[in-house]
Structure 1
Amino acid sequence: MLTIGMLGGMSWESSAEYYRLANVLVRERLGGLHSARIVLHSVDFAEIERMQVEGRWDDAGKALAEAAAAVQAGGADFLLICTNTMHKVYDQVRAAVDIPVIHLGDTTASAIKNAGLTTVGLLGTGFTMDQPFYREHLESHGLRVLLPSTEDRATVHRIIYDELCLGIVREESRRTYQDVIARFEGAEGIILGCTEIELLITQDDVPLPVFPTTRLHVEAAVERAIG
């Protein structure tokens, strides 16, 4: 079994889900007491979040690149950046290591295309929705990506940072997300494009197919690890 490298802590709530899912999926595949081989580096999210807000993306990229190098040194055979938003600095992270870095956007796009869909709504942080880095990566796979209204984007972002990143899961917020999803026009499916959103929304909550990026990312990692 190969060793999965995880660059996490953004937030640790979602990184815990990455860790849990990887071990669950390995146990399902191999049975018994099997668990995943994982090297996890967890950053202090307060420092990264400050860089996000201040637009210091190059500094954030340098911080994650250093962390990625540490994950490689710890014995990882390949790497996951356990956050959608910080794929903005994917190129800096990729350049810092000699091991493969599985792009979360690639695993998500593959699942959407395998489902036979082409037009999807995107939910995520304000950075992920407002900036082109994530949307354009998905569009490079031939997908059409729809965004919520400006007001809905602000609401989705607030719930992520003020609630989900702090482990707060509220039924009222679930209904708010459901209302945002219902306002997408023409969407064939919905990308849960922030790792924390999966703590709030599941397929049971949405009539359209949902694409949970964390689970899809981890499934691809386990497949690579087990072979």
Structure 2
Amino acid sequence: MKTIGLIGGMSWESTADYYREINEGVKQALGGLHSAKIALFSVDFEPVEKLQHQGDWQGAAAVLADAARRVEAAGADCVLICTNTMHKAARDVEQAVSIPLLHIADATAQELALHGVKKVGLLGTAFTMEQDFYKGRLQQLHGLDVMVPGEHDRKIVHDIIYQELCLGQLREPSKAHYLRIIDALAKQGAQAVILGCTEIGLLVKQADTQVMLFDTTVIHARKAVQWALS
């Protein structure tokens, strides 16, 4: 079994789900008392969040590059960035280490392909929904037609992530907002919706809607398990 490297803490609420999902995946695959071999470096999210909203992506990338080097030094054979938004720093992380990066957008696109999804809605932080580092990768590398909510709804999705979900606050009115936005994307032609922030799956579950949801935390964690056991 290979060792999975995790860069977590953005936020730790969803990083805990990564740890659980990966260990459950290894247990299911191997049985007995097996658990995953994981090297985790968890950053302090407060300064990273400030750098994001200041537009200092170079500074934020430096934090993740340092974390990646620490994960590699701890014996990891691959590295995962346990957040969609900070995949904006994916290239910096790849250049900082000699081990492969398992990209969350690639894992998600592969899962969408298995389900025959070509036109998909995307929810996430404003950075993820509006910038090309994620949406553009889905479109250009994987040929997906990606839809995002309108400006007003993008702000709602973004604010709930930072002001509630990253703090572990799960509120029914916020879930109602998300479900309304998901339904609107489906009515506009989306065959499915990507929960493109690792915290959204804490609030919205497949049982809450008939629209097909793709939880990037679960998908990314499963990809890590497949890689580690391959």
The answer for the alignment partner of 1:215 in structure 2 is 218
The answer for the alignment partner of 1:47 in structure 2 is 47
The answer for the alignment partner of 2:91 in structure 1 is 91
Mapping 1:31-180, distance limit 5 Å: 31-140=31-140, 141-180=142-181
> Per the alignment, in what secondary structure is the counterpart of residue 219 of structure 2?
helix
Greater CA drift, 68-77 or 176-185: 176-185
Within 2, Cα distance between the matches of 1:13 and 1:42?
11
Identity %: 52
Within 1, Cα distance between the matches of 2:209 and 2:216?
15
Tell me how far 1:70 sits from its aligned partner.
Answer: 0.5
TM-score, length-scaled by structure 1: 0.99
Q: Which runs of 5+ in 1 are unaligned?
A: none
In structure 1, give the amino acid aligned to 2:53: V
1:51-109 Cα offsets, whole Å, 9 max, x none, are: 00100000111111011000000000001000000000100000000000000000000
TM-score, length-scaled by structure 2: 0.97
Tell me how far 1:174 sits from its aligned partner.
Answer: 1.0
Q: Provide runs of 4+ in structure 1 moved above 4 Å.
A: none
Q: Which runs of 5+ in 2 are unaligned?
A: none
Within 1, Cα distance between the matches of 2:109 and 2:192?
12
Within 2, Cα distance between the matches of 1:223 and 1:133?
25
* 1:190 has 2:209 as partner: no
The number of aligned residues is 227
Alignment root-mean-square deviation, CA: 0.7
